[in-house]
Amino acid sequence: MSELSINTTQNVNINFTAASIGQRILAFGTDLLIIIAYFIVAMTLLYYSGLGDAMDKMDGWSAGAIMVLITIPITFYSIFWESLFDGQTLGKRLLKIKVVKIDGYQASFGDYFVRWLFRLVDIVFTSGTVGFISIVVTDKSQRLGDIAAGTAIISLKNDISINSTILEDINDDYVPVYPLVIKLSDNDVRIIKDNFERAKKHQDYEITRKLKDKIETVTGIKNQSGNDADFIKTVLKDYNYYTQNM
């Protein structure tokens, strides 16, 4: 699997693992099975309800309208679930992969729509050939729809520990220092912690200083400890304190 570097809105880079072609095919296959199962159930209900026989007596427009209604969930399957599940269809959710923006912003409905529209070229009209070739040859493993939407698909199959989440160990008697940390979002704190852990590992004091400066700029907090690393540790603990007690 290839590494995917995303430059976030905090102007720092986070590395993800791009979803493999195998993961994407299995996710697509799972979604296809769900679609087939839906269609079989829908047609079975249509038959046993007697509406199927009634359709034989209808004019072409009326019968066609009923079939359109039945196929709407199939047509808009991917865009519906990706919008609902933040970049995941049911198949992607099962395979633990998701769509993300490569510029660090949250993917929008418009991004999912562009990806869905390009399925005609990537998958439908070319039997998946164009999409497969594009994923294999591009650096970020993108099909044409991803390139047009500025998205990529990452794997979420990482070993998760408290060090890789926004959670911090805090005692019951912990006293917070910076109330303004509530101006940050969960995503902001995750980005701060990811990069802080990386900076500590590589003893990159410049990244630590930039993180401190960014936190002060965004929240209005002023470092009271005098030490950049201690300041960031306190900010992370304070955020956990306030969000757990809100």
pLDDT at 46 over 90: no
Are 108 and 152 spatial neighbours (Cβ–Cβ below 8 Å)? Answer: no
User: What is the spatial distance between Cα 8 and Cα 5, in angstroms, rounded to a whole number?
Assistant: 9
Q: What are the structure tokens assigned to 226, written together?
A: 């005098």
Q: For the segment 84-131, what is each residue's pLDDT rounded down to a tens digit? A: 998 999 999 999 999 988 876 678 999 999 999 999 999 999 999 999
Three-class secondary structure of residue 174 per DSSP: coil
Q: For the segment 126-164, what is each residue's pLDDT rounded down to a tens digit? A: 999 999 999 999 988 999 999 999 999 988 775 434 344
Sign of the Cα torsion 12, 143, 121, 40 reads negative
228-244 and 186-201 helices, crossing angle to 10°:
150
User: What is the spatial distance between Cα 127 and Cα 185, in angstroms, rounded to a whole number?
Assistant: 41
What's the first-to-final CA gap in the chain, in angstroms?
A: 40
Angle (nearest 5°) at CA 185 between 183 and 188: 110
Q: For the segment 221-241, what is each residue's pLDDT rounded down to a tens digit? A: 998 888 999 999 999 988 888
Nearest to 75 by CA among 130, 27, 35: 35
Q: What's the whole-model pTM score? A: 0.62
What is the pLDDT averaged over residues 57-63?
A: 80
CB atoms within 10 A of CB 87: 23
Sign of the Cα torsion 178, 180, 185, 189 reads negative
User: What is the spatial distance between Cα 221 and Cα 182, in angstroms, rounded to a whole number?
Assistant: 11
Are 154 and 146 spatial neighbours (Cβ–Cβ below 8 Å)? Answer: no
Nearest to 218 by CA among 12, 13, 16: 12
Report the half-sphere exposure of 52 (CA within 13 A, side-chain side): 8
Q: Which helix (H) or strand (E) covers residue 31, if one does?
A: helix 21-48
Q: What are the structure tokens assigned to 121, written together?
A: 């070229």
**Which residues are bridge partners to 152 per DSSP?**
100
